[in-house]
Amino acid sequence: MPARKLPVNCPSCMNSLNVSELACPECGTHVSGSYPLPVLLRLNEDEQNFILQFFLSSGSLKQMASQMGISYPTVRNKLDDLIEKVRKLQSE
């Protein structure tokens, strides 16, 4: 069964989605409110995987390039673009 993706943007107006209900899988408790998604969760799956890879490589772009099979400047550019995107999301 393919992994389900967490939607982060409204399919109707493309605005950022908020979390309005959380549920406990053990006891069935439901928590309602309005909680904005953390910045990292507002990125798409590829971007989140990229950040995870960066973390697991201890921040070594060279190691990431080797693992991903792409060149160092390509990895660096992806990181720079992602940093810019996260800064924009943080300022919203």
Partner 1 sequence: MKKILFNPFERYSEIALLLFGLLATIVASLAAYYCNGRFDGIIDMHLAEEVPLSAPFVDNAINTVTLFCLLFILGVAINRKTRAIDVLNTVLIARLPIYLLPLFNISNRLKSIEDSINVAYLSELRLEVPDLIFLLVFALVSLLCLAWFAVLLYKGFKISANSKTTGHKVLFATVILLAELLSKYIHYLI
User: What is the binding site for partner 1 (CB under 8 A)?
Assistant: 65, 69-74, 76-77, 80-81
Output 49 or 74, the one with its CB closest to partner 1.
74
d(CA 33, CA 21): 6
CB 69, min distance to partner 1, A: 7
**Longest CA span, the chain:** 49
Output 17 or 86, the one with its CB closest to partner 1.
86
Please report which helix (H) or strand (E) contains residue 75, including its range: helix 72-91
CB 47, min distance to partner 1, A: 16
Can you read off the two tokens belonging to residue 91? 């300022």
Output 32 or 71, the one with its CB closest to partner 1.
71
